[in-house]
Structure 1
Amino acid sequence: MRPLRNPVVQTSVAWLLSEWMRLCFATIRWTHENEQVAEEVWAEGGGVLCAFWHSRIALGPVCWPMQRAQSVKGLVSLSADGEFIAKAVARLGIPAVRGSSANKDKAKQAKGGTQALRDGLKQLKIGALAVTPDGPRGPARQMAEGLPLMAKISGAPVLFIGLSCKPAIRLNSWDKAVLPLPFGKGAVVWDKAWYPEGAELSEVAADWTERLTAVEARADALTGLERV
Protein backbone atom coordinates (compact mmCIF):
# COMPACT_ATOMS: atom_id res chain seq x y z
CA MET A 1 0.00 0.00 0.00
CA ARG A 2 1.36 3.38 -0.95
CA PRO A 3 1.78 5.76 2.01
CA LEU A 4 -0.95 8.16 0.86
CA ARG A 5 -3.43 5.28 0.79
CA ASN A 6 -3.05 4.71 4.51
CA PRO A 7 -6.05 6.38 6.24
CA VAL A 8 -3.95 7.77 9.09
CA VAL A 9 -1.39 9.22 6.68
CA GLN A 10 -4.19 10.61 4.49
CA THR A 11 -5.80 12.40 7.42
CA SER A 12 -2.51 13.85 8.65
CA VAL A 13 -1.31 15.05 5.26
CA ALA A 14 -4.77 16.39 4.40
CA TRP A 15 -4.68 18.49 7.58
CA LEU A 16 -1.23 19.84 6.74
CA LEU A 17 -2.25 20.64 3.17
CA SER A 18 -5.45 22.39 4.20
CA GLU A 19 -3.63 24.56 6.76
CA TRP A 20 -0.96 25.41 4.17
CA MET A 21 -3.68 26.42 1.73
CA ARG A 22 -5.30 28.66 4.38
CA LEU A 23 -1.98 30.45 4.90
CA CYS A 24 -1.42 30.91 1.17
CA PHE A 25 -4.96 32.12 0.44
CA ALA A 26 -4.72 34.69 3.23
CA THR A 27 -1.34 36.13 2.21
CA ILE A 28 -1.58 36.09 -1.61
CA ARG A 29 -2.58 39.39 -3.26
CA TRP A 30 -5.59 38.42 -5.36
CA THR A 31 -6.80 40.04 -8.59
CA HIS A 32 -10.35 39.30 -9.76
CA GLU A 33 -11.44 39.82 -13.37
CA ASN A 34 -14.99 39.67 -14.77
CA GLU A 35 -16.27 38.76 -11.30
CA GLN A 36 -19.63 40.39 -12.04
CA VAL A 37 -20.79 37.24 -13.82
CA ALA A 38 -20.22 35.30 -10.62
CA GLU A 39 -21.84 38.02 -8.54
CA GLU A 40 -25.00 37.62 -10.62
CA VAL A 41 -25.06 33.89 -9.92
CA TRP A 42 -24.46 34.42 -6.19
CA ALA A 43 -27.25 37.01 -6.04
CA GLU A 44 -29.74 34.78 -7.86
CA GLY A 45 -28.98 31.69 -5.78
CA GLY A 46 -29.89 28.21 -6.95
CA GLY A 47 -27.81 25.66 -8.79
CA VAL A 48 -24.53 26.40 -10.56
CA LEU A 49 -21.68 24.31 -11.94
CA CYS A 50 -18.17 25.60 -11.20
CA ALA A 51 -15.46 24.37 -13.56
CA PHE A 52 -11.69 24.71 -13.38
CA TRP A 53 -8.95 22.50 -14.79
CA HIS A 54 -7.57 19.71 -12.61
CA SER A 55 -4.13 21.34 -12.37
CA ARG A 56 -5.67 24.19 -10.34
CA ILE A 57 -7.62 22.06 -7.86
CA ALA A 58 -5.46 23.27 -4.96
CA LEU A 59 -6.59 26.84 -5.72
CA GLY A 60 -10.28 25.97 -6.08
CA PRO A 61 -11.53 26.95 -2.61
CA VAL A 62 -10.31 30.53 -2.96
CA CYS A 63 -12.86 31.34 -5.66
CA TRP A 64 -15.96 30.66 -3.54
CA PRO A 65 -16.99 33.20 -0.87
CA MET A 66 -18.74 31.00 1.69
CA GLN A 67 -20.43 33.96 3.41
CA ARG A 68 -22.44 35.16 0.40
CA ALA A 69 -22.54 32.33 -2.14
CA GLN A 70 -24.49 29.11 -2.50
CA SER A 71 -23.45 26.06 -0.54
CA VAL A 72 -20.89 24.13 -2.58
CA LYS A 73 -19.76 20.54 -2.89
CA GLY A 74 -16.88 19.15 -4.98
CA LEU A 75 -17.03 16.18 -7.32
CA VAL A 76 -14.01 14.10 -6.25
CA SER A 77 -12.63 10.84 -7.66
CA LEU A 78 -13.51 7.48 -6.13
CA SER A 79 -9.81 6.58 -6.08
CA ALA A 80 -7.76 6.36 -2.90
CA ASP A 81 -5.95 9.54 -3.93
CA GLY A 82 -9.36 11.11 -4.35
CA GLU A 83 -10.08 10.27 -0.71
CA PHE A 84 -7.01 12.27 0.33
CA ILE A 85 -8.09 15.27 -1.75
CA ALA A 86 -11.64 15.02 -0.42
CA LYS A 87 -10.41 15.23 3.16
CA ALA A 88 -8.21 18.24 2.48
CA VAL A 89 -10.90 20.19 0.62
CA ALA A 90 -13.59 19.26 3.17
CA ARG A 91 -11.52 20.97 5.86
CA LEU A 92 -11.90 24.17 3.83
CA GLY A 93 -15.69 23.90 3.83
CA ILE A 94 -16.27 21.99 0.58
CA PRO A 95 -17.64 18.47 1.22
CA ALA A 96 -17.35 15.93 -1.57
CA VAL A 97 -19.64 14.14 -3.97
CA ARG A 98 -17.60 11.03 -4.77
CA GLY A 99 -17.41 9.68 -8.31
CA SER A 100 -15.37 9.50 -11.51
CA SER A 101 -15.73 9.11 -15.26
CA ALA A 102 -12.52 7.07 -15.33
CA ASN A 103 -12.45 3.27 -15.72
CA LYS A 104 -16.01 3.36 -17.00
CA ASP A 105 -15.62 -0.19 -18.31
CA LYS A 106 -15.54 -1.45 -14.73
CA ALA A 107 -18.83 -2.04 -12.98
CA LYS A 108 -17.83 -0.57 -9.64
CA GLN A 109 -16.56 2.69 -11.10
CA ALA A 110 -19.54 2.91 -13.45
CA LYS A 111 -21.89 2.47 -10.52
CA GLY A 112 -20.00 5.12 -8.59
CA GLY A 113 -20.14 7.50 -11.53
CA THR A 114 -23.89 7.02 -11.87
CA GLN A 115 -24.38 7.69 -8.18
CA ALA A 116 -22.15 10.75 -8.40
CA LEU A 117 -24.29 12.08 -11.28
CA ARG A 118 -27.44 11.59 -9.19
CA ASP A 119 -25.90 13.21 -6.12
CA GLY A 120 -24.47 16.02 -8.23
CA LEU A 121 -27.85 16.78 -9.79
CA LYS A 122 -29.41 16.72 -6.33
CA GLN A 123 -26.83 19.26 -5.15
CA LEU A 124 -27.54 21.46 -8.19
CA LYS A 125 -31.14 21.84 -7.04
CA ILE A 126 -29.96 23.83 -4.03
CA GLY A 127 -26.41 25.04 -4.61
CA ALA A 128 -23.08 24.79 -6.38
CA LEU A 129 -21.09 21.80 -7.61
CA ALA A 130 -17.37 22.19 -8.35
CA VAL A 131 -16.03 19.98 -11.17
CA THR A 132 -12.61 19.44 -12.76
CA PRO A 133 -13.76 18.29 -16.21
CA ASP A 134 -10.39 16.80 -17.25
CA GLY A 135 -9.95 14.74 -14.07
CA PRO A 136 -9.03 12.47 -12.54
CA ARG A 137 -6.50 11.21 -15.13
CA GLY A 138 -6.72 13.54 -18.10
CA PRO A 139 -5.71 14.24 -20.78
CA ALA A 140 -5.04 17.65 -19.30
CA ARG A 141 -7.29 20.49 -20.47
CA GLN A 142 -9.54 18.17 -22.48
CA MET A 143 -13.13 18.24 -21.30
CA ALA A 144 -15.12 15.04 -21.06
CA GLU A 145 -18.86 15.16 -21.66
CA GLY A 146 -19.82 14.84 -17.99
CA LEU A 147 -19.92 18.59 -17.32
CA PRO A 148 -22.03 19.43 -20.40
CA LEU A 149 -24.35 16.53 -19.56
CA MET A 150 -24.98 17.82 -16.04
CA ALA A 151 -25.56 21.33 -17.39
CA LYS A 152 -28.00 20.00 -19.98
CA ILE A 153 -30.00 17.91 -17.51
CA SER A 154 -30.05 20.45 -14.68
CA GLY A 155 -30.41 23.65 -16.68
CA ALA A 156 -27.90 25.23 -14.30
CA PRO A 157 -25.42 27.86 -15.52
CA VAL A 158 -21.72 27.03 -15.70
CA LEU A 159 -19.02 29.28 -14.30
CA PHE A 160 -15.65 28.79 -16.00
CA ILE A 161 -12.99 29.77 -13.47
CA GLY A 162 -9.37 30.52 -14.33
CA LEU A 163 -7.08 30.26 -11.31
CA SER A 164 -3.41 31.15 -11.02
CA CYS A 165 -0.74 32.17 -8.53
CA LYS A 166 2.97 32.99 -8.55
CA PRO A 167 5.28 31.88 -7.09
CA ALA A 168 4.01 28.32 -7.08
CA ILE A 169 5.20 24.74 -6.93
CA ARG A 170 4.63 22.81 -10.16
CA LEU A 171 4.23 19.10 -9.52
CA ASN A 172 5.52 16.47 -11.95
CA SER A 173 2.05 14.98 -12.32
CA TRP A 174 0.00 14.27 -15.44
CA ASP A 175 -1.68 17.67 -15.13
CA LYS A 176 1.42 19.59 -13.92
CA ALA A 177 -0.57 20.62 -10.84
CA VAL A 178 0.05 24.02 -9.28
CA LEU A 179 0.45 24.35 -5.50
CA PRO A 180 0.42 27.87 -4.06
CA LEU A 181 3.21 29.53 -2.13
CA PRO A 182 2.46 32.38 0.31
CA PHE A 183 3.00 36.12 -0.17
CA GLY A 184 2.73 36.10 -3.95
CA LYS A 185 0.28 37.21 -6.65
CA GLY A 186 -2.95 35.41 -7.46
CA ALA A 187 -5.72 35.79 -10.03
CA VAL A 188 -9.28 34.56 -10.49
CA VAL A 189 -10.91 35.09 -13.90
CA TRP A 190 -14.54 34.27 -14.66
CA ASP A 191 -16.74 33.37 -17.64
CA LYS A 192 -20.31 32.02 -17.73
CA ALA A 193 -22.40 29.87 -20.05
CA TRP A 194 -25.59 27.84 -20.26
CA TYR A 195 -26.04 24.65 -22.26
CA PRO A 196 -27.16 25.72 -25.76
CA GLU A 197 -30.51 24.25 -26.73
CA GLY A 198 -30.26 21.52 -29.35
CA ALA A 199 -26.46 21.33 -29.29
CA GLU A 200 -24.52 18.05 -29.29
CA LEU A 201 -22.59 17.16 -26.15
CA SER A 202 -19.33 16.79 -28.11
CA GLU A 203 -19.70 20.25 -29.67
CA VAL A 204 -20.38 21.86 -26.31
CA ALA A 205 -17.44 20.06 -24.70
CA ALA A 206 -15.11 21.35 -27.44
CA ASP A 207 -16.37 24.93 -27.12
CA TRP A 208 -16.25 24.89 -23.34
CA THR A 209 -12.73 23.44 -23.41
CA GLU A 210 -11.58 26.54 -25.28
CA ARG A 211 -13.42 28.90 -22.95
CA LEU A 212 -12.10 27.28 -19.77
CA THR A 213 -8.56 27.25 -21.16
CA ALA A 214 -8.93 30.92 -22.11
CA VAL A 215 -9.82 32.08 -18.59
CA GLU A 216 -6.98 30.01 -17.12
CA ALA A 217 -4.51 31.49 -19.63
CA ARG A 218 -5.73 34.99 -18.75
CA ALA A 219 -5.24 34.27 -15.03
CA ASP A 220 -1.69 33.08 -15.76
CA ALA A 221 -1.03 36.26 -17.73
CA LEU A 222 -2.14 38.36 -14.76
CA THR A 223 0.20 36.57 -12.35
CA GLY A 224 3.07 35.89 -14.75
CA LEU A 225 2.93 32.12 -14.20
CA GLU A 226 4.52 30.27 -17.11
CA ARG A 227 2.10 28.22 -19.17
CA VAL A 228 2.92 24.50 -19.43
Structure 2
Amino acid sequence: MRNLWKRFRFWIIPVLAYIFNIISSRWTRLDVYGRENAEKCTDQSILFAFWHGKLWLPAYFFRDSDYLVLSSLSRDGEYMTRILKRYHYRVIRGSSSRGGSRALLKLIKEIKKGYSGFITPDGPTGPIHKVKPGIVYLQEKGGAVIIPIGVAVRWKITVNSWDRLVLPLPGTRAVMAFGAPVYLPEDETIEKRAEILEDSINLAQEKAERILKTGAGD
Protein backbone atom coordinates (compact mmCIF):
# COMPACT_ATOMS: atom_id res chain seq x y z
CA MET A 1 0.00 0.00 0.00
CA ARG A 2 2.84 2.40 0.84
CA ASN A 3 4.53 1.78 -2.52
CA LEU A 4 1.22 2.28 -4.30
CA TRP A 5 0.71 5.63 -2.56
CA LYS A 6 4.27 6.66 -3.39
CA ARG A 7 3.78 5.91 -7.08
CA PHE A 8 0.45 7.76 -7.07
CA ARG A 9 2.01 10.78 -5.35
CA PHE A 10 4.86 10.95 -7.85
CA TRP A 11 2.25 10.96 -10.62
CA ILE A 12 -0.48 13.23 -9.25
CA ILE A 13 1.63 16.06 -7.78
CA PRO A 14 3.49 16.84 -11.04
CA VAL A 15 0.24 16.59 -13.03
CA LEU A 16 -1.55 19.06 -10.74
CA ALA A 17 1.45 21.41 -10.70
CA TYR A 18 1.67 21.23 -14.49
CA ILE A 19 -2.01 22.07 -14.89
CA PHE A 20 -1.78 24.99 -12.44
CA ASN A 21 1.36 26.24 -14.19
CA ILE A 22 -0.48 26.31 -17.52
CA ILE A 23 -3.55 28.04 -16.08
CA SER A 24 -1.70 30.68 -14.08
CA SER A 25 0.87 31.35 -16.82
CA ARG A 26 -1.68 31.64 -19.65
CA TRP A 27 -3.79 34.02 -17.60
CA THR A 28 -0.82 36.12 -16.55
CA ARG A 29 -0.37 39.38 -18.48
CA LEU A 30 3.35 38.98 -19.07
CA ASP A 31 5.44 41.81 -20.52
CA VAL A 32 8.92 40.86 -21.74
CA TYR A 33 11.74 43.41 -21.95
CA GLY A 34 15.25 43.10 -23.32
CA ARG A 35 14.62 40.02 -25.44
CA GLU A 36 16.98 41.48 -28.04
CA ASN A 37 19.83 40.75 -25.62
CA ALA A 38 19.25 37.05 -26.27
CA GLU A 39 18.35 37.40 -29.96
CA LYS A 40 21.76 38.87 -30.78
CA CYS A 41 23.42 35.78 -29.24
CA THR A 42 21.61 33.16 -31.32
CA ASP A 43 24.85 32.09 -33.01
CA GLN A 44 26.06 30.51 -29.75
CA SER A 45 24.78 28.53 -26.80
CA ILE A 46 22.99 30.55 -24.13
CA LEU A 47 22.54 29.88 -20.43
CA PHE A 48 19.57 31.84 -19.07
CA ALA A 49 20.15 32.47 -15.37
CA PHE A 50 17.54 33.49 -12.81
CA TRP A 51 16.89 32.86 -9.14
CA HIS A 52 15.34 29.55 -8.11
CA GLY A 53 12.22 31.12 -6.64
CA LYS A 54 11.40 32.80 -9.98
CA LEU A 55 11.22 29.52 -11.93
CA TRP A 56 7.43 29.34 -12.39
CA LEU A 57 6.93 31.73 -15.33
CA PRO A 58 10.20 31.01 -17.20
CA ALA A 59 9.41 27.28 -17.15
CA TYR A 60 6.27 28.04 -19.15
CA PHE A 61 7.80 30.83 -21.25
CA PHE A 62 10.66 28.65 -22.58
CA ARG A 63 8.48 25.57 -23.17
CA ASP A 64 8.95 23.50 -26.33
CA SER A 65 12.39 25.03 -26.85
CA ASP A 66 14.41 21.82 -26.38
CA TYR A 67 16.45 23.66 -23.75
CA LEU A 68 18.71 21.94 -21.25
CA VAL A 69 17.72 22.02 -17.57
CA LEU A 70 19.57 20.68 -14.54
CA SER A 71 17.26 19.01 -12.00
CA SER A 72 18.34 17.58 -8.67
CA LEU A 73 18.08 13.92 -7.69
CA SER A 74 15.84 14.77 -4.73
CA ARG A 75 12.12 14.10 -4.43
CA ASP A 76 11.35 17.70 -5.38
CA GLY A 77 13.75 17.29 -8.30
CA GLU A 78 11.75 14.27 -9.45
CA TYR A 79 8.55 16.31 -9.36
CA MET A 80 10.23 19.12 -11.30
CA THR A 81 11.65 16.70 -13.84
CA ARG A 82 8.23 15.27 -14.62
CA ILE A 83 6.78 18.74 -15.08
CA LEU A 84 9.63 19.95 -17.29
CA LYS A 85 9.52 16.88 -19.50
CA ARG A 86 5.89 17.66 -20.26
CA TYR A 87 7.20 20.95 -21.67
CA HIS A 88 9.80 19.04 -23.73
CA TYR A 89 12.91 20.18 -21.91
CA ARG A 90 16.10 18.12 -22.06
CA VAL A 91 16.42 17.38 -18.34
CA ILE A 92 19.76 16.31 -16.87
CA ARG A 93 19.64 14.98 -13.32
CA GLY A 94 22.20 15.86 -10.68
CA SER A 95 23.05 18.40 -7.98
CA SER A 96 25.96 19.74 -6.00
CA SER A 97 25.67 16.88 -3.51
CA ARG A 98 24.51 13.94 -5.65
CA GLY A 99 25.65 13.20 -9.16
CA GLY A 100 26.82 16.77 -9.63
CA SER A 101 30.09 16.13 -11.43
CA ARG A 102 28.55 13.74 -13.95
CA ALA A 103 25.64 16.13 -14.54
CA LEU A 104 27.97 19.10 -15.16
CA LEU A 105 30.10 17.09 -17.58
CA LYS A 106 26.99 16.04 -19.49
CA LEU A 107 25.73 19.63 -19.58
CA ILE A 108 29.08 20.83 -20.91
CA LYS A 109 28.99 18.16 -23.61
CA GLU A 110 25.50 19.21 -24.70
CA ILE A 111 26.35 22.92 -24.60
CA LYS A 112 29.35 22.30 -26.86
CA LYS A 113 26.95 20.68 -29.33
CA GLY A 114 25.11 24.00 -29.52
CA TYR A 115 22.24 23.45 -27.09
CA SER A 116 21.07 26.26 -24.85
CA GLY A 117 19.42 25.97 -21.46
CA PHE A 118 18.43 27.67 -18.26
CA ILE A 119 19.83 27.33 -14.79
CA THR A 120 18.95 28.54 -11.31
CA PRO A 121 22.43 29.18 -9.87
CA ASP A 122 21.27 29.33 -6.24
CA GLY A 123 19.59 25.89 -6.42
CA PRO A 124 18.71 23.27 -5.53
CA THR A 125 18.97 24.05 -1.79
CA GLY A 126 20.33 27.57 -1.51
CA PRO A 127 21.47 29.81 0.05
CA ILE A 128 18.97 32.04 -1.66
CA HIS A 129 20.26 34.50 -4.28
CA LYS A 130 23.86 33.30 -3.99
CA VAL A 131 25.55 31.99 -7.14
CA LYS A 132 27.17 28.59 -6.79
CA PRO A 133 30.32 27.68 -8.78
CA GLY A 134 28.52 25.27 -11.14
CA ILE A 135 27.33 27.85 -13.66
CA VAL A 136 30.75 29.53 -13.65
CA TYR A 137 32.33 26.21 -14.54
CA LEU A 138 29.68 25.59 -17.20
CA GLN A 139 30.34 28.94 -18.83
CA GLU A 140 34.10 28.47 -18.78
CA LYS A 141 34.19 24.93 -20.16
CA GLY A 142 31.12 25.05 -22.40
CA GLY A 143 31.72 28.49 -23.86
CA ALA A 144 28.10 29.61 -23.52
CA VAL A 145 27.08 33.21 -22.96
CA ILE A 146 24.97 33.91 -19.85
CA ILE A 147 21.80 35.99 -20.06
CA PRO A 148 20.50 37.05 -16.61
CA ILE A 149 16.74 37.25 -16.18
CA GLY A 150 14.60 39.02 -13.63
CA VAL A 151 10.96 38.12 -12.96
CA ALA A 152 8.48 40.31 -11.06
CA VAL A 153 4.83 39.45 -10.33
CA ARG A 154 2.12 41.73 -8.93
CA TRP A 155 -0.47 39.32 -7.49
CA LYS A 156 1.14 36.17 -6.23
CA ILE A 157 1.51 33.50 -3.61
CA THR A 158 4.97 33.21 -2.10
CA VAL A 159 5.62 29.69 -0.87
CA ASN A 160 7.20 29.35 2.56
CA SER A 161 10.22 27.48 1.21
CA TRP A 162 13.96 28.22 1.22
CA ASP A 163 13.74 29.80 -2.27
CA ARG A 164 10.52 31.77 -1.62
CA LEU A 165 8.94 30.31 -4.76
CA VAL A 166 6.61 32.80 -6.46
CA LEU A 167 3.31 31.46 -7.83
CA PRO A 168 1.47 34.03 -10.01
CA LEU A 169 -2.26 34.25 -9.45
CA PRO A 170 -4.38 34.02 -12.62
CA GLY A 171 -5.03 37.44 -14.16
CA THR A 172 -2.04 39.17 -12.60
CA ARG A 173 0.51 41.31 -14.41
CA ALA A 174 4.14 40.21 -14.55
CA VAL A 175 7.39 41.40 -16.08
CA MET A 176 10.31 39.36 -17.36
CA ALA A 177 13.49 41.37 -17.99
CA PHE A 178 16.43 39.99 -19.98
CA GLY A 179 19.73 41.51 -18.91
CA ALA A 180 22.79 42.19 -21.04
CA PRO A 181 24.93 39.19 -22.07
CA VAL A 182 27.49 38.24 -19.43
CA TYR A 183 30.95 36.94 -20.34
CA LEU A 184 32.74 36.09 -17.12
CA PRO A 185 36.45 37.06 -17.14
CA GLU A 186 38.60 33.93 -17.07
CA ASP A 187 41.46 35.74 -15.31
CA GLU A 188 39.31 36.26 -12.21
CA THR A 189 38.78 33.74 -9.41
CA ILE A 190 35.66 31.56 -9.40
CA GLU A 191 34.43 33.50 -6.38
CA LYS A 192 34.81 36.84 -8.18
CA ARG A 193 33.10 35.53 -11.31
CA ALA A 194 30.24 34.22 -9.19
CA GLU A 195 29.94 37.66 -7.61
CA ILE A 196 29.83 39.34 -11.04
CA LEU A 197 27.05 37.03 -12.18
CA GLU A 198 25.19 37.51 -8.91
CA ASP A 199 25.22 41.27 -9.43
CA SER A 200 24.01 40.83 -13.03
CA ILE A 201 21.03 38.70 -12.01
CA ASN A 202 20.16 41.13 -9.23
CA LEU A 203 20.26 44.03 -11.71
CA ALA A 204 17.87 42.17 -14.04
CA GLN A 205 15.61 41.41 -11.09
CA GLU A 206 15.64 45.04 -9.96
CA LYS A 207 14.79 46.13 -13.52
CA ALA A 208 11.81 43.75 -13.68
CA GLU A 209 10.51 45.01 -10.34
CA ARG A 210 10.99 48.66 -11.34
CA ILE A 211 9.12 48.19 -14.63
CA LEU A 212 6.28 46.41 -12.86
CA LYS A 213 6.01 49.25 -10.36
CA THR A 214 6.40 52.22 -12.72
CA GLY A 215 5.42 50.81 -16.12
CA ALA A 216 8.58 52.30 -17.63
CA GLY A 217 10.81 49.96 -19.60
CA ASP A 218 13.81 52.26 -20.05
Q: Is the CA contact (8 Å cut-off) linking 1:63 and 1:188 kept in structure 2? A: no
Structure 1: runs of 5+ lacking an equivalent:
104-108
Mind listing any 5+ residue stretches in structure 2 that lack a counterpart?
Answer: 214-218
- Asked if 1:56 is matched to 2:54, the reply is yes
Query: What is the match of residue 163 of structure 1?
Result: 151
| 1:223 paired to 2:212 | yes
Code of the aligned partner of 1:216: Q
How far 1:65 sits from its partner (Å)? 6.4
Give the aligned residue type for 2:132: A
TM-score norm. by structure 2 comes to: 0.88
Distance in 2 between the 1:7 and 1:130 partners? 29
Identity over aligned pairs, percent: 26
Aligned counterpart in structure 1 of residue 117 of structure 2, from 123, 129, 140: 129
User: Matches of 2:38 and 2:53 in 1, distance apart?
Assistant: 21
Report the Cα offset of residue 128 of structure 1.
1.2
Q: Any runs of at least 4 consecutive aligned residues in structure 1 with deviations exceeding 3 A, and if so which?
A: none
Residue 106 of structure 1 corresponds to none
1:93 aligns to 2:88 (yes or no):
yes
**Mapping 1:182-197, distance limit 5 Å:** 182-191=170-179, 192-197=181-186
Give the drift of 1:6.
2.5
Q: Could you say what secondary structure the match of 1:182 adopts?
A: coil
Deviation, 1:64, is 2.3
Query: What TM-score do the two structures reach when normalised by structure 1?
Result: 0.85
1:4-62: CA deviations, max 9, x gaps? x92321221111111211122222111111111111223x2x42211110111222224
Corresponding residue SS for 1:6: helix
Q: Secondary structure at the match of 1:32?
A: strand
- Contact persistence 1:155–1:195 (CA under 8 A): no
Q: How many residues align?
A: 209
Give yes or no for contact 2:122–2:132 (8 Å, CA) kept in 1. yes
Does 2:150 correspond to 1:143?
no
Alpha-carbon contact 1:155-1:194 (below 8 Å) kept? no
Aligned pair partner of 2:107 in 120, 135, 143 = 120
Q: Give the AA of the match of 1:214.
A: L
- 2-structure distance, mates of 1:40, 1:94: 23
Report how far residue 98 of structure 1 moved.
0.7
Give the partner amino acid of 1:61. A
Whole-Å separation in 1 of the counterparts to 2:90 and 2:152? 23
Secondary structure of residue in 2 paired with 1:78: coil
Cα RMSD (Å) of the superposition? 2.0
